[in-house]
Structure formats: structure tokens, C-alpha cells
Amino acid sequence: MGRPQDSSAFLRGDLSAEAYHDHAVALGLTALLPELAALCPVPERRGSLLDAHRAYLASPAAQRPPSGAPAPAPTAALRPYHLPPHLARLVRGLATGVN
């Protein structure tokens, strides 16, 4: 996945679907794997990649962020943002159609 020869090896059957999938996950391409599988011209390899992806999604590994992933946002960053009163009135007016 990281190198063109990885994709070629996967298509030839020299690289397992699991190994190819692991490369994609390591590169942060997990969300794109269904699309990558859909683009695979070899039906058997397409199916094996989708099977590897389904197995991964059901595993505990899918719940952990990949190594090198950014740290989760601190709790304070998740608090709702409060608009200043004059902007809050404007937004409410726009939402209700009242100016």
C-alpha cells in the first residue's frame, strides 16, 4: 500500500489481504478501504480485502487509534461554544426567520 509494489503484490496474490489491509490502516486509510476494495479488478482479491476489513472492524484493534494518531482533544475543547448575546440573537433570528 505504501509502495506501488505492495498493490501489485496484493493483486498477484503474493501479499495477503490482511497484510495489505494492515498497510492501509498504518497509512490512515481505514475509511477508504471499502472504496479501495471496490476498485480492485480481481473479484477474489476484492472479496478477501472486504473480508479482512470486516474482521478488522469487529476486532479490538479497530477501537484503538493508529500509532502516530493525534491525541484526543482535551475535555475542555468539547464544551459547547457560547456565542456573544448579539450574535446569538442574530442566529436565532436567522433560524426562525425573524430579523
- Residues 81 and 79: their CA atoms lie apart, in Å, by 6
Q: What is the pLDDT of residues 26-85, one digit of tens each?
A: 888 888 898 888 888 889 999 999 999 999 999 888 877 656 555 555 544 445 556 677
Residue 94's contacts (CB-CB under 8 Å, 6 or more residues apart) are: none
- Sorting pLDDT into bands at 50, 70 and 90, what band is 19? very high
Res. 4: pLDDT tops 70: no
* Cβ atoms of 49 and 36 closer than 8 Å: yes
Dihedral angle of Cα 55, 52, 31, 8, to the nearest 10 degrees: 170
pTM, 2 dp: 0.61
Q: At what angle do helices 17-26 and 43-57 cross, to 10 degrees?
A: 60
**What pLDDT score does 6 carry?**
79
